[in-house]
Chains A and B, each alone.
Chain A
Amino acid sequence: MALQDKYKELLDAAKASGVNNLQAIEKDGVLYVDGEAPSGAVKDQLWDMYNKIDPNFLAGDMVMNVNVAAAAPGAKAKVTTEKSNLNIRKGPGTDQPIVGKAAHHSIVTLVSKTNDQWWLIRTDKGEEGYAYAQYLTPEG
């Protein structure tokens, strides 16, 4: 239970901020935290606390898989790459051919969520394909 104590502040904050299906399992020196955050802001807040407790996440004693509640199909998402355009691929994986690009900071439509890493999207130009979910921020 040592790690539950180390990350107690974070776990308490997750509970208080309405993270759904929150689960913390400690096994072989690693704390596995799973759950569904009500918003991207809550997820960011939890990662800020993680960074405070374990600066730069170097201890390797926690795997925090807290997702943001799935946006409904048809919802809009903003392309939040650093500055480049976002590749749209034929399938979910960087080994898949690029079939289009979504412009930096443009708004795309979420068609469906393949998994936590890849979403099927459609641009306003009608291009459809898979994009890396990390660079997509659901609107609203």
Chain B
Amino acid sequence: MTIVSGKAEARRRLQSARPDVLRKMWEHRADYAYVLPAIAVMLVVIAYPIYYTIELSFFNTPPGLQLRDKIFVGLNNYTAILTSPVFWQVTLNTLIWTAASTFISFVLGFAAALALHRDFFGRGALRAILIIPWVISAVAASYIWKWIYHSDFGIIGAVLVELGWASRPPNFIDSVSTVLPSLIVVNIWREFPFAMIMMTAGLQTVPEQLLRAAKVDGANAWQRFWHVTFPHLRNVSTVTILLLAVANFNSFIIPWIMTGGGPSNASHIWITHIYELAFGRQRWGVASAYSVLLFIILMTLGYFYVRALSGNERKDGDA
């Protein structure tokens, strides 16, 4: 009996695999040619900016110097970020913003999808109305909400004062304690229709015969939902939550237009803070370091997203 070491076996396999891989690549040369332009474009518009952002994150870019005269500072930008109290304030804001917006949008969207799943008169019209916040421009919505919230002559304040429920208009966006929740409400209003659409699509895949069988077996509405409907929606829920989370981490328009991150940084989230560092203060190096950190977080979320999608595909394949 010949004893083959693990290393030697691996080498043998690699050697036998190489011609096989090359042969397969040659056989699929047309396929590679088809995707080559897309890969080239991705290298230019995605890979290079990522590389450049990582490179810039090791440099200082004072306002009096051009970017080409940047000064190498090693990991100083990362140290400066992690020791800055503003970073932790902005990070906390980002986590609250993302978690609250994602969770509440999902719950509201799911509830709306369940309510609209049953057939009733006017369902189509109601569904169309609920989608409106998602289809209107985020910029327009932000300006409208800014006026609705206006601390001196906003419509909410005017109504509350008129009804005698408040002596003066409430301060929604000019207070450090209320600004973030106020913006989150706007974001949820914008996003829950997306969750509703996703969950509506998911609900349509739940086999009707299973629900009928459960009913025949004596399951009540909650049991049918919990034991039949919900397990079927697990994957679409995961994907929806991940997509919402990524979108919320990347939010810019609503906080930037409505408050510019203020007052006193109370509504700055990562993206708005990065924008201000880069374009307002020209700290391209620090902004790049922030972006690298955000990139790592988003890539992690992306990994789970892809895994969730793969899980879906595997399950579909098993079925």
The yes or no verdict on A and B being binding partners is no
Q: Which residues of B contact A (CB under 8 A)?
A: none
Q: Which residues of A contact B (CB under 8 A)?
A: none
